[in-house]
Amino acid sequence: MHRVFAQALTWTSLAACGPSPLPPPRLVSGPPAAADLDPDPHRVVFELVASTTTVQQYGETPSEIWTYNGQLPGPTLQARVGDEVTIHFTNDLPEPTTIHWHGLRISDAMDGVPAIQQAVRPGETFTYRFSPPEPGTFWYHPHVRAHEQVERGLHGAFVVHPREEPEGVGERVFVVDDVQLNADGSLAEFTLDSEHVTQSHGRVGTQLLVNGQLDPPMAPASPSTSERWRVVNVSNASSMRVTVRGGLARVIARDGGLLETPLDLDVVDLPVGGRVDFEVRGVAGEALALEVEAGKHAVGKPSVVAAGVPWNVSTTSWATWPDAPAVQVSSPQQELALTFGRAGGGTDRTWTVNGNEWGEHTPIPLNADVPTRIRVVDESSAPHPFHLHGQFFRVVSRNGVLTDDKAAYDTVMLGPDEEVELFTTLDNPGRWMAHCHILAHAERGMMTELVVQPLERN
């Protein structure tokens, strides 16, 4: 099938072809990467098995968690733009599941959502195949009973590298999370169906984790170059404030990849599902760390966790990153309005989009490759990290005030009673979910679908 592109400047990538690929950059620290089982330089094959694992992970009392390949978080998956990626997935869990590739703009058939894909039943397998269209920091997680499956440990980072990268820049992955634990350190019961607090705020953690641990081991930095730190918020309900301490930092990328211009910022409030990449330089005599605390609109206040990175020497300069022109906001030719609301109460709190819960919703038709304004309004007086599958957008305004934010996102924080205006070119046709990423809200109704129809083709 051939896709026709109407816009010159859209999020459509310039992938494929080109010189033979370089080896992936050095992953200095982070969840161990999965092995690529195919020696062909343009093909990447991974094996993922979801299963039950008993760990001492959180404290004295063992917890039964769910993992990909026995790892918490799941293995970091790495590929290059345009690679043919194949993931052989086996479900050894006691219940059906899928894998959704959060932020990867692939075809909807491989998006891992139950409206399209029959969930993979216990003992069964499914093969995901796609070609990542652009570089960036993404992640993967189930899209079935996600409020429980993700919290039990099913989540991992997915890094898509460009064909060429600045030389010698080490990379680290920080998967930040919070888990709700009992006093003895075991994983708390799942009470979404019976309990008002979780229905209202989501499953708020009592303990912050970085890469699945309280005190993740960090390899020392190489002395001469800067590093790229890729941070992913996989929490069920908590935005995370992430701060680089003790060095120099700038923000070089968000959900949709590199920024047009790096921002001099060492702190970011990361919505659930969101990503930020910092470029970091060491300063002699300073202790460098990524500090994680509950962010804006987070309900719980677990204590701060800092992942210390041994780095004793001053780094002299920033790396040079490839040009990444921002998509221009042009006048919209179609509009989409999404209103987030709530219904019920007590132990029957539900959440709605345009007045309907998931299941009662009607998929919303839109045209592909057309400048589109999306207005997302909260009428529930609660925060909602809004996530759109299959597309990127820019954040144009908040409560009518223009932002100067040029980054591409797939997830944005909508504050209580706030209105955000987004711009997108919807250049990836398909059937796409749009939902709140507080997984309890999503599970209790706050999801809908867009059907993005391709232009006429002949």
Chain residues that interact with ligand C2O, rule: CB under 6 A: 100, 102, 141, 143, 273, 387, 389, 433, 435, 437
Q: Which stretch binds Cu ion (CB under 5 A): 69-77, 285-293, 322-330, 431-439?
A: 431-439
273 binding partner (options Cu ion, ligand C2O, none; Cβ < 5 to 8 Å by kind)? ligand C2O
Per-residue DSSP letter, 355: T
Nearer CB in complex with ligand C2O: 210/232: 232
Instruction: Please report where in the chains the tokens 């680290």 appear, as a residue.
Output: 172
Quick check: 436 binds Cu ion (CB under 5 A)? yes
Per-residue DSSP letter, 346: T
438 binding partner (options ligand C2O, Cu ion, none; Cβ < 5 to 8 Å by kind)? Cu ion
Least distance (Å) from Cu ion to the CB of residue 237?
8
Phi-psi region of 135 (alpha: psi -120 to 50; beta: other; left: phi over 0): beta
**Distance between CA atoms of residues 215 and 212, nearest Å:** 9
User: Shortest Cβ contact with ligand C2O: which residue?
Assistant: 102
DSSP string, 78-133: EEETT-EEEEEEEEESSS-B--EEET----GGGS--TTTSPPBPTT-EEEEEE---
Q: Count Cα neighbours of 188 within 13 Å in the Cβ-side half-sphere.
A: 16
Least distance (Å) from ligand C2O to the CB of residue 251?
21
Least distance (Å) from ligand C2O to the CB of residue 146?
7
135 binding partner (options ligand C2O, Cu ion, none; Cβ < 5 to 8 Å by kind)? none
Nearer CB in complex with ligand C2O: 133/273: 273
Instruction: Please report where in the chains the tokens 């996989």 appear, as a residue.
Output: 234
Least distance (Å) from ligand C2O to the CB of residue 433?
5
100 binding partner (options Cu ion, ligand C2O, none; Cβ < 5 to 8 Å by kind)? ligand C2O
436 binding partner (options Cu ion, ligand C2O, none; Cβ < 5 to 8 Å by kind)? Cu ion
Nearer CB in complex with ligand C2O: 181/440: 440
Name the β-bridge partners of 161. 80
* Binding to Cu ion, residues 376-395 (CB under 5 A): 384
Q: Which amino acid is at 184?
A: D
Nearer CB in complex with ligand C2O: 250/389: 389
Name the β-bridge partners of 294. 240
Nearer CB in complex with Cu ion: 105/444: 444
- Nearest Cα neighbor of 151 from 447, 438, 357 is 438
Least distance (Å) from Cu ion to the CB of residue 442?
7
A 10 A CB-CB count for 23 gives 8
Q: 439: helix, coil or strand?
A: helix
Among residues 281, 342, 441, 444, which is the contact residue for Cu ion, using CB under 5 A? 441
- Which residues, other chains included, contact 8 with Cβ-Cβ below 8 Å and sequence gap of 6+? none
**Distance between CA atoms of residues 201 and 444, nearest Å:** 12
Nearer CB in complex with ligand C2O: 141/201: 141
* Contact predicate 367/334, CB 8 Å: yes
Nearer CB in complex with Cu ion: 278/340: 340
Q: 24: helix, coil or strand?
A: coil
Q: 375: helix, coil or strand?
A: strand
Q: 434: helix, coil or strand?
A: strand
Quick check: 438 binds Cu ion (CB under 5 A)? yes
* Contact predicate 6/370, CB 8 Å: yes
Least distance (Å) from ligand C2O to the CB of residue 101?
9
Q: Which stretch binds Cu ion (CB under 5 A): 83-91, 237-245, 386-394, 430-438?
A: 430-438
Nearer CB in complex with Cu ion: 172/342: 342
384 binding partner (options ligand C2O, Cu ion, none; Cβ < 5 to 8 Å by kind)? Cu ion
Q: In angstroms, what CA-CA distances link 29 with 112, 183, 248, 252?
A: 28, 30, 19, 19
Least distance (Å) from ligand C2O to the CB of residue 354?
17
Nearer CB in complex with ligand C2O: 85/150: 150
387 binding partner (options ligand C2O, Cu ion, none; Cβ < 5 to 8 Å by kind)? ligand C2O
**Distance between CA atoms of residues 403 and 396, nearest Å:** 6
Give the binding site for Cu ion (CB under 5 A): 384, 436, 438, 441
